[in-house]
Structure 1
Amino acid sequence: MKSSQAALLDASAVALSSLCLLHCLALPLLAAALPLFGAWAEAEWVHAVFVAIALPITGFALWRAHRQHPLPAPTWLAAAAGLALLLAGALELPSHDSETVVTVAGSLLLAATHLWNARRRHRQC
């Protein structure tokens, strides 16, 4: 796989994590001003869409990177934990009150994993 394709996968994953953070942190503030954003901030389908997009992008990006140079187990564990936290947030586990904290933690962990992978790939080129 070309380095530019791998970089695009990692950049896509980081962008998705950033969108997730924006959704979790900024949309509630905008909800007070704009009713449309208020509907989006509480729409459960948005969470499901983020998880449904994050899972294959993360899996594919890390799998492709692993094929070139095996990834250490902590990388896989961090990605799995980030995805699990995103899913828990989407399912409002353990509660609705902790949804934002759980989702933000998962998003940051996932973004950090992809940034580490991009940095690792850049060093090997």
Structure 2
Amino acid sequence: MAIHRTGDAMGISLSGLCMVHCLALPLLVSLFPLAGAWAEAPWVHWVFAFMAGPLAAYVLSRPDTAGRRDWLLIAAGALGVALLFFAAAELPTHEAETPMTVAGGLILAGAHIVNWRKRNHAH
């Protein structure tokens, strides 16, 4: 069961890092203009999305101690990951990128928190 807690902790941390990237980096860019090239690089968004997808799929789809899967958590995780990928692809627009990334990260973090709490209360 430790792998599940570690996976959820990694998912929560990754979502938090994503929030920092989206919300705090623009402030840092205004203070340090050279950071802007890294902050706006499209590959950064794709890296977050490609890390979050497999991690969420593995951790959130694992059965609990009774052998059941929580399909609502799986759906929430899929929605969060989908938003991250749509944001990375700048769909529908570039202006929607930050709100979609933040929403996707919050949904994913919430799913991992619920999953973590459920697994900790199962013991």
Same fold (TM over 0.5): yes
Question: TM-score, with normalisation over the residues of structure 1?
Answer: 0.92
Deviation sequence 1:52-109 (CA, Å, 0-9, x none): 1101111111233x26442232111101100000111101111001100001000000
Equivalent residue letter for 2:76: A
- Counterpart residue number, 1:35: 33
- Counterpart residue number, 1:101: 99
Distance 2:117 2:28 in 1: 34
Root mean square deviation of aligned Cα: 1.2
Question: TM-score, with normalisation over the residues of structure 2?
Answer: 0.93
Greater CA drift, 72-81 or 113-122? 72-81
User: How do 1:17-96 residues align onto structure 2 when only pairs under 5 Å count?
Assistant: 17-64=15-62, 66=63, 68=65, 69-96=67-94
Q: Between the two proteins, what is the percent identity of the paired residues?
A: 45
Distance 1:60 1:72 in 2: 13
**Count of residues paired in the alignment:** 122
Distance 1:95 1:87 in 2: 13
Structure 1 unaligned blocks of 5 or more: none
Structure 2 unaligned blocks of 5 or more: none
* Structure number with higher helix proportion: 1
- Counterpart residue number, 2:11: 13
1:117 maps onto 2:115 in alignment? yes
Runs of 4+, deviation exceeding 3 Å: none
| C-alpha distance 36-99 of structure 1, shift in aligned 2 (>3 A) | same
